[in-house]
Structure 1
Amino acid sequence: YDAHVNTDLVTASVPDESHIWAAYNEIGERKAAVLFEMLHRVMGEEAWLTALRRYLVVYANRTATSSDFWDLLQLQVDRNGRLGKGLNITGIMKCWLGQPGYPLVTVTRNYENRTAIVSQQRFFITPQFRNRWARSPCWWVPLSYTCPSCQHSEIISFSRWLTCPISKPSSKSNTVILGKLEAEPEDWILFNVQHTAPFRVNYDLRN
Protein backbone atom coordinates (compact mmCIF):
# COMPACT_ATOMS: atom_id res chain seq x y z
CA TYR A 1 0.00 0.00 0.00
CA ASP A 2 2.94 2.35 0.52
CA ALA A 3 3.49 2.33 -3.24
CA HIS A 4 0.25 4.18 -4.01
CA VAL A 5 -0.01 7.93 -4.56
CA ASN A 6 -2.04 8.61 -1.43
CA THR A 7 -0.48 6.90 1.54
CA ASP A 8 -0.04 7.76 5.21
CA LEU A 9 3.19 8.92 6.80
CA VAL A 10 4.84 6.97 9.59
CA THR A 11 4.70 10.04 11.83
CA ALA A 12 1.76 12.37 12.32
CA SER A 13 1.09 15.43 14.46
CA VAL A 14 -1.97 15.36 16.72
CA PRO A 15 -3.54 18.26 18.65
CA ASP A 16 -3.91 16.30 21.89
CA GLU A 17 -3.75 12.77 23.32
CA SER A 18 -7.38 12.02 22.45
CA HIS A 19 -6.42 11.99 18.76
CA ILE A 20 -3.53 9.54 19.07
CA TRP A 21 -5.47 6.41 18.18
CA ALA A 22 -7.15 8.17 15.27
CA ALA A 23 -3.70 8.81 13.79
CA TYR A 24 -2.74 5.13 13.96
CA ASN A 25 -2.23 3.36 10.63
CA GLU A 26 -1.04 -0.14 9.77
CA ILE A 27 1.37 1.03 7.08
CA GLY A 28 3.16 3.25 9.58
CA GLU A 29 3.46 0.44 12.10
CA ARG A 30 4.98 -2.00 9.63
CA LYS A 31 7.23 0.56 7.99
CA ALA A 32 8.55 1.77 11.36
CA ALA A 33 9.58 -1.79 12.23
CA VAL A 34 11.45 -2.11 8.92
CA LEU A 35 13.21 1.22 9.48
CA PHE A 36 14.31 0.18 12.96
CA GLU A 37 15.80 -2.96 11.44
CA MET A 38 17.60 -0.76 8.88
CA LEU A 39 19.17 1.25 11.70
CA HIS A 40 20.09 -1.97 13.48
CA ARG A 41 21.95 -3.24 10.41
CA VAL A 42 23.79 -0.05 9.53
CA MET A 43 24.83 0.65 13.14
CA GLY A 44 25.84 -2.93 13.92
CA GLU A 45 24.59 -5.23 16.67
CA GLU A 46 26.77 -3.95 19.51
CA ALA A 47 26.22 -0.23 18.85
CA TRP A 48 22.47 -0.70 18.38
CA LEU A 49 21.97 -2.62 21.62
CA THR A 50 24.22 -0.26 23.56
CA ALA A 51 22.17 2.72 22.37
CA LEU A 52 18.88 1.03 23.27
CA ARG A 53 20.08 0.15 26.76
CA ARG A 54 21.34 3.69 27.27
CA TYR A 55 18.00 5.11 26.15
CA LEU A 56 16.08 2.94 28.63
CA VAL A 57 18.38 4.01 31.47
CA VAL A 58 18.41 7.73 30.68
CA TYR A 59 14.67 8.05 30.10
CA ALA A 60 13.34 5.60 32.67
CA ASN A 61 10.19 7.12 34.22
CA ARG A 62 10.57 10.21 32.02
CA THR A 63 9.02 11.47 28.83
CA ALA A 64 11.12 11.53 25.68
CA THR A 65 10.79 12.66 22.09
CA SER A 66 11.96 11.03 18.90
CA SER A 67 14.78 13.59 18.81
CA ASP A 68 16.02 12.30 22.17
CA PHE A 69 16.17 8.79 20.72
CA TRP A 70 17.97 9.86 17.54
CA ASP A 71 20.50 11.85 19.58
CA LEU A 72 21.43 8.79 21.64
CA LEU A 73 21.80 6.71 18.49
CA GLN A 74 23.98 9.44 16.98
CA LEU A 75 26.20 9.47 20.05
CA GLN A 76 26.84 5.75 19.65
CA VAL A 77 27.40 6.07 15.90
CA ASP A 78 29.97 8.81 16.47
CA ARG A 79 31.83 6.53 18.84
CA ASN A 80 32.11 3.52 16.56
CA GLY A 81 32.51 5.47 13.30
CA ARG A 82 30.56 2.91 11.30
CA LEU A 83 28.46 5.36 9.29
CA GLY A 84 31.29 7.66 8.24
CA LYS A 85 31.58 11.43 8.44
CA GLY A 86 28.68 13.71 7.64
CA LEU A 87 25.96 11.14 8.23
CA ASN A 88 23.32 12.19 10.71
CA ILE A 89 20.72 9.83 12.20
CA THR A 90 18.13 12.61 12.54
CA GLY A 91 18.50 13.60 8.89
CA ILE A 92 18.38 9.99 7.72
CA MET A 93 15.22 9.20 9.66
CA LYS A 94 13.47 12.48 8.87
CA CYS A 95 13.23 11.65 5.18
CA TRP A 96 11.97 8.11 5.82
CA LEU A 97 9.42 9.07 8.48
CA GLY A 98 8.28 12.44 7.16
CA GLN A 99 7.30 11.64 3.59
CA PRO A 100 5.17 8.93 1.98
CA GLY A 101 6.34 6.06 -0.17
CA TYR A 102 9.74 4.48 -0.66
CA PRO A 103 12.46 4.65 -3.32
CA LEU A 104 13.10 2.75 -6.51
CA VAL A 105 16.88 2.52 -6.91
CA THR A 106 18.28 2.05 -10.42
CA VAL A 107 21.75 0.57 -10.92
CA THR A 108 23.44 1.07 -14.30
CA ARG A 109 26.85 -0.58 -14.57
CA ASN A 110 29.85 0.35 -16.70
CA TYR A 111 31.41 -3.04 -17.33
CA GLU A 112 34.67 -1.70 -18.74
CA ASN A 113 35.78 0.43 -15.79
CA ARG A 114 33.84 -1.45 -13.08
CA THR A 115 31.73 1.46 -11.94
CA ALA A 116 28.00 1.92 -11.50
CA ILE A 117 25.64 4.87 -11.56
CA VAL A 118 23.06 4.49 -8.80
CA SER A 119 20.00 6.74 -8.79
CA GLN A 120 16.69 6.94 -6.95
CA GLN A 121 13.12 8.09 -7.43
CA ARG A 122 9.87 7.36 -5.68
CA PHE A 123 8.32 4.01 -6.58
CA PHE A 124 4.68 3.94 -7.67
CA ILE A 125 2.66 0.80 -8.26
CA THR A 126 1.01 2.91 -10.98
CA PRO A 127 3.96 4.42 -12.93
CA GLN A 128 1.86 7.04 -14.73
CA PHE A 129 1.84 9.12 -11.53
CA ARG A 130 5.63 9.38 -11.44
CA ASN A 131 5.89 12.41 -13.71
CA ARG A 132 3.19 14.38 -11.90
CA TRP A 133 5.49 15.30 -9.02
CA ALA A 134 7.19 18.69 -9.34
CA ARG A 135 10.16 17.38 -7.41
CA SER A 136 10.89 13.74 -6.86
CA PRO A 137 11.31 13.02 -3.15
CA CYS A 138 14.58 11.52 -1.99
CA TRP A 139 15.81 9.30 0.81
CA TRP A 140 19.07 8.52 2.55
CA VAL A 141 19.64 5.02 1.16
CA PRO A 142 22.43 2.73 2.49
CA LEU A 143 24.18 0.94 -0.36
CA SER A 144 25.41 -2.63 -0.11
CA TYR A 145 25.98 -5.27 -2.78
CA THR A 146 27.08 -8.83 -3.41
CA CYS A 147 28.47 -10.66 -6.44
CA PRO A 148 30.06 -14.04 -7.29
CA SER A 149 33.59 -12.56 -7.18
CA CYS A 150 33.13 -10.63 -3.94
CA GLN A 151 35.78 -11.82 -1.47
CA HIS A 152 33.48 -12.04 1.53
CA SER A 153 30.39 -13.16 -0.43
CA GLU A 154 28.80 -9.81 0.35
CA ILE A 155 30.06 -6.24 0.55
CA ILE A 156 28.26 -4.28 3.23
CA SER A 157 29.80 -0.83 3.26
CA PHE A 158 27.55 1.88 4.56
CA SER A 159 30.14 4.59 3.89
CA ARG A 160 28.35 5.13 0.55
CA TRP A 161 24.78 6.33 0.58
CA LEU A 162 22.34 7.87 -1.80
CA THR A 163 21.91 11.22 -0.10
CA CYS A 164 18.96 13.48 0.58
CA PRO A 165 19.83 16.91 2.00
CA ILE A 166 16.50 18.17 3.34
CA SER A 167 17.43 21.84 3.13
CA LYS A 168 18.59 21.84 -0.51
CA PRO A 169 17.27 18.80 -2.38
CA SER A 170 18.43 18.52 -5.97
CA SER A 171 18.80 16.01 -8.77
CA LYS A 172 22.43 15.51 -7.72
CA SER A 173 21.28 14.14 -4.37
CA ASN A 174 19.44 11.40 -6.24
CA THR A 175 22.54 9.97 -7.96
CA VAL A 176 25.89 8.57 -6.89
CA ILE A 177 28.72 6.93 -8.86
CA LEU A 178 30.26 3.85 -7.28
CA GLY A 179 33.82 3.05 -8.34
CA LYS A 180 36.12 0.04 -8.02
CA LEU A 181 33.36 -2.55 -7.81
CA GLU A 182 34.63 -6.03 -7.02
CA ALA A 183 32.33 -7.55 -9.63
CA GLU A 184 33.98 -8.97 -12.75
CA PRO A 185 32.43 -7.92 -16.10
CA GLU A 186 30.80 -11.35 -16.45
CA ASP A 187 29.40 -11.26 -12.90
CA TRP A 188 25.91 -10.33 -11.86
CA ILE A 189 25.64 -7.89 -8.97
CA LEU A 190 22.88 -7.68 -6.37
CA PHE A 191 22.19 -4.58 -4.27
CA ASN A 192 20.40 -4.18 -0.94
CA VAL A 193 21.98 -7.26 0.61
CA GLN A 194 19.66 -9.01 3.07
CA HIS A 195 17.05 -6.30 2.42
CA THR A 196 18.87 -3.79 4.60
CA ALA A 197 16.49 -0.96 3.71
CA PRO A 198 12.96 -0.74 2.25
CA PHE A 199 13.59 -0.02 -1.43
CA ARG A 200 13.29 -1.79 -4.77
CA VAL A 201 16.15 -2.16 -7.24
CA ASN A 202 16.19 -2.07 -11.04
CA TYR A 203 19.29 -3.05 -13.05
CA ASP A 204 20.57 -2.59 -16.57
CA LEU A 205 19.58 -5.43 -18.89
CA ARG A 206 23.04 -7.03 -19.06
CA ASN A 207 23.19 -7.39 -15.28
Structure 2
Amino acid sequence: MSPTTSEPEPGLRERKKAATRQALHEAALRLAFEHGPENVTVEAIADEAGVSRRTFSNYFANKEEALFYGDLQRMRLLAGMIREQPRALAPWEALTAAAEGFYEQLGDLDPEWIARSRMVRRHPSLAAAQVQTFAALEREVSAEVAARLGPSDPWGVRAQLIAATFLAVLRVSLNVWLERRPEVNFWDLARDSLADAGCGFV
Protein backbone atom coordinates (compact mmCIF):
# COMPACT_ATOMS: atom_id res chain seq x y z
CA MET A 1 0.00 0.00 0.00
CA SER A 2 1.36 3.38 -0.90
CA PRO A 3 1.71 5.97 1.88
CA THR A 4 -0.91 8.69 2.07
CA THR A 5 -0.49 12.30 3.07
CA SER A 6 -3.67 12.35 5.14
CA GLU A 7 -2.40 10.24 8.07
CA PRO A 8 -0.47 13.00 9.91
CA GLU A 9 -3.41 15.43 9.68
CA PRO A 10 -5.42 14.12 12.67
CA GLY A 11 -2.34 14.44 14.85
CA LEU A 12 -1.81 17.99 13.69
CA ARG A 13 -5.45 18.87 14.27
CA GLU A 14 -5.32 17.45 17.76
CA ARG A 15 -2.17 19.43 18.53
CA LYS A 16 -3.85 22.61 17.33
CA LYS A 17 -6.90 21.90 19.45
CA ALA A 18 -4.73 21.23 22.49
CA ALA A 19 -2.84 24.48 21.88
CA THR A 20 -6.09 26.47 21.62
CA ARG A 21 -7.47 24.87 24.76
CA GLN A 22 -4.26 25.63 26.65
CA ALA A 23 -4.25 29.23 25.37
CA LEU A 24 -7.80 29.75 26.62
CA HIS A 25 -6.91 28.25 29.99
CA GLU A 26 -3.89 30.51 30.37
CA ALA A 27 -5.89 33.55 29.26
CA ALA A 28 -8.56 32.77 31.85
CA LEU A 29 -5.96 32.48 34.60
CA ARG A 30 -4.24 35.72 33.60
CA LEU A 31 -7.47 37.69 33.57
CA ALA A 32 -8.72 36.16 36.83
CA PHE A 33 -5.42 36.95 38.51
CA GLU A 34 -5.42 40.54 37.24
CA HIS A 35 -9.10 41.44 37.70
CA GLY A 36 -10.61 38.81 39.99
CA PRO A 37 -12.63 35.80 38.75
CA GLU A 38 -15.96 37.56 39.25
CA ASN A 39 -14.95 40.29 36.78
CA VAL A 40 -13.88 37.94 34.00
CA THR A 41 -16.23 37.13 31.12
CA VAL A 42 -16.10 34.46 28.46
CA GLU A 43 -15.84 37.20 25.84
CA ALA A 44 -12.81 38.68 27.59
CA ILE A 45 -11.11 35.30 27.75
CA ALA A 46 -11.74 34.68 24.06
CA ASP A 47 -10.38 38.13 23.16
CA GLU A 48 -7.31 37.60 25.32
CA ALA A 49 -6.60 34.30 23.58
CA GLY A 50 -7.28 35.78 20.14
CA VAL A 51 -10.23 33.55 19.27
CA SER A 52 -13.98 34.02 18.84
CA ARG A 53 -16.66 33.51 21.47
CA ARG A 54 -17.91 30.57 19.42
CA THR A 55 -14.46 29.00 19.47
CA PHE A 56 -14.39 29.30 23.26
CA SER A 57 -17.70 27.43 23.42
CA ASN A 58 -16.21 24.61 21.37
CA TYR A 59 -13.71 23.94 24.15
CA PHE A 60 -15.29 25.00 27.43
CA ALA A 61 -18.85 25.34 28.70
CA ASN A 62 -18.02 28.30 30.95
CA LYS A 63 -15.15 30.31 32.42
CA GLU A 64 -14.88 27.98 35.43
CA GLU A 65 -14.05 25.05 33.17
CA ALA A 66 -11.38 27.14 31.48
CA LEU A 67 -9.88 28.14 34.82
CA PHE A 68 -9.68 24.58 36.14
CA TYR A 69 -8.53 22.95 32.89
CA GLY A 70 -4.95 22.73 34.17
CA ASP A 71 -6.09 20.95 37.32
CA LEU A 72 -8.13 18.53 35.21
CA GLN A 73 -5.14 17.72 33.02
CA ARG A 74 -2.94 17.06 36.02
CA MET A 75 -5.61 14.83 37.51
CA ARG A 76 -5.91 12.82 34.30
CA LEU A 77 -2.17 12.28 34.39
CA LEU A 78 -2.40 11.10 38.00
CA ALA A 79 -5.28 8.75 37.14
CA GLY A 80 -3.20 7.24 34.35
CA MET A 81 -0.27 6.67 36.69
CA ILE A 82 -2.56 4.96 39.18
CA ARG A 83 -3.72 2.53 36.48
CA GLU A 84 -0.09 1.73 35.68
CA GLN A 85 0.77 0.57 39.20
CA PRO A 86 1.54 -3.16 39.68
CA ARG A 87 -1.60 -5.16 40.38
CA ALA A 88 0.13 -6.81 43.35
CA LEU A 89 0.13 -3.55 45.29
CA ALA A 90 -2.62 -2.95 47.82
CA PRO A 91 -4.91 -0.04 46.85
CA TRP A 92 -3.47 2.56 49.23
CA GLU A 93 0.09 1.56 48.35
CA ALA A 94 -0.73 1.89 44.64
CA LEU A 95 -2.30 5.32 45.15
CA THR A 96 0.64 6.59 47.20
CA ALA A 97 3.20 5.25 44.71
CA ALA A 98 1.33 6.89 41.84
CA ALA A 99 1.16 10.20 43.70
CA GLU A 100 4.87 10.11 44.41
CA GLY A 101 5.69 9.43 40.76
CA PHE A 102 3.27 12.13 39.68
CA TYR A 103 4.78 14.85 41.84
CA GLU A 104 8.31 13.79 40.95
CA GLN A 105 7.40 14.18 37.29
CA LEU A 106 5.67 17.50 37.97
CA GLY A 107 8.81 18.91 39.61
CA ASP A 108 8.97 22.15 41.54
CA LEU A 109 5.75 24.12 41.44
CA ASP A 110 6.06 27.29 39.39
CA PRO A 111 5.79 30.48 41.54
CA GLU A 112 3.36 32.07 39.08
CA TRP A 113 1.17 28.96 39.14
CA ILE A 114 1.28 29.03 42.95
CA ALA A 115 0.10 32.65 43.04
CA ARG A 116 -2.72 32.00 40.60
CA SER A 117 -3.78 28.80 42.33
CA ARG A 118 -3.89 30.53 45.69
CA MET A 119 -6.16 33.19 44.22
CA VAL A 120 -8.49 30.66 42.56
CA ARG A 121 -8.85 28.54 45.68
CA ARG A 122 -9.66 31.52 47.87
CA HIS A 123 -12.51 32.75 45.73
CA PRO A 124 -15.92 31.48 46.93
CA SER A 125 -17.50 31.64 43.48
CA LEU A 126 -15.07 28.98 42.26
CA ALA A 127 -15.48 26.52 45.13
CA ALA A 128 -18.18 24.48 43.36
CA ALA A 129 -16.13 24.21 40.17
CA GLN A 130 -13.11 23.02 42.15
CA VAL A 131 -15.17 20.35 43.89
CA GLN A 132 -16.65 19.22 40.56
CA THR A 133 -13.19 18.90 39.06
CA PHE A 134 -12.03 16.68 41.90
CA ALA A 135 -15.26 14.65 41.72
CA ALA A 136 -14.45 13.63 38.15
CA LEU A 137 -11.12 12.20 39.27
CA GLU A 138 -12.68 10.56 42.32
CA ARG A 139 -14.85 8.41 40.07
CA GLU A 140 -11.81 7.24 38.12
CA VAL A 141 -9.78 6.50 41.24
CA SER A 142 -12.70 4.68 42.85
CA ALA A 143 -13.09 2.44 39.81
CA GLU A 144 -9.40 1.55 39.89
CA VAL A 145 -9.50 0.77 43.61
CA ALA A 146 -12.64 -1.32 43.14
CA ALA A 147 -10.86 -3.39 40.50
CA ARG A 148 -8.06 -4.08 42.96
CA LEU A 149 -10.39 -4.96 45.83
CA GLY A 150 -12.54 -7.26 43.73
CA PRO A 151 -15.15 -9.44 45.49
CA SER A 152 -14.01 -8.29 48.94
CA ASP A 153 -15.87 -5.01 48.33
CA PRO A 154 -19.13 -6.11 46.65
CA TRP A 155 -20.93 -2.77 47.06
CA GLY A 156 -17.95 -0.58 46.27
CA VAL A 157 -18.22 1.33 49.55
CA ARG A 158 -14.62 0.71 50.61
CA ALA A 159 -13.36 1.70 47.17
CA GLN A 160 -15.20 5.00 47.32
CA LEU A 161 -13.98 5.69 50.84
CA ILE A 162 -10.37 5.02 49.86
CA ALA A 163 -10.61 7.19 46.74
CA ALA A 164 -12.32 10.05 48.57
CA THR A 165 -9.80 9.95 51.42
CA PHE A 166 -6.83 9.85 49.07
CA LEU A 167 -7.99 12.86 47.06
CA ALA A 168 -9.04 14.77 50.18
CA VAL A 169 -5.53 14.34 51.60
CA LEU A 170 -3.96 15.66 48.40
CA ARG A 171 -6.40 18.56 48.14
CA VAL A 172 -6.09 19.63 51.79
CA SER A 173 -2.31 19.22 51.75
CA LEU A 174 -2.07 21.41 48.66
CA ASN A 175 -4.36 24.07 50.11
CA VAL A 176 -2.39 24.15 53.37
CA TRP A 177 0.90 24.30 51.50
CA LEU A 178 -0.32 27.11 49.26
CA GLU A 179 -1.65 29.14 52.17
CA ARG A 180 1.06 28.60 54.78
CA ARG A 181 4.13 27.79 52.67
CA PRO A 182 5.83 25.60 55.29
CA GLU A 183 9.57 25.07 55.00
CA VAL A 184 9.13 21.76 53.20
CA ASN A 185 8.30 20.96 49.62
CA PHE A 186 4.75 19.99 48.83
CA TRP A 187 5.36 16.28 48.32
CA ASP A 188 7.05 15.91 51.72
CA LEU A 189 3.95 17.35 53.35
CA ALA A 190 1.60 15.23 51.23
CA ARG A 191 3.60 12.03 51.80
CA ASP A 192 3.40 12.38 55.58
CA SER A 193 -0.32 13.16 55.36
CA LEU A 194 -0.96 10.15 53.13
CA ALA A 195 0.95 7.90 55.53
CA ASP A 196 -1.18 9.09 58.45
CA ALA A 197 -4.46 8.81 56.55
CA GLY A 198 -3.61 5.43 55.07
CA CYS A 199 -3.14 3.63 58.39
CA GLY A 200 -6.74 2.45 58.31
CA PHE A 201 -6.52 1.16 54.74
CA VAL A 202 -3.26 -0.77 54.74
TM-score for both structures, normalised by structure 1: 0.25
Higher helix fraction (1 or 2):
2
TM-score for both structures, normalised by structure 2: 0.25
Higher RCO structure, 1 or 2 (CA under 8 Å, sep 6+): 1
Bigger radius of gyration among the two: 2
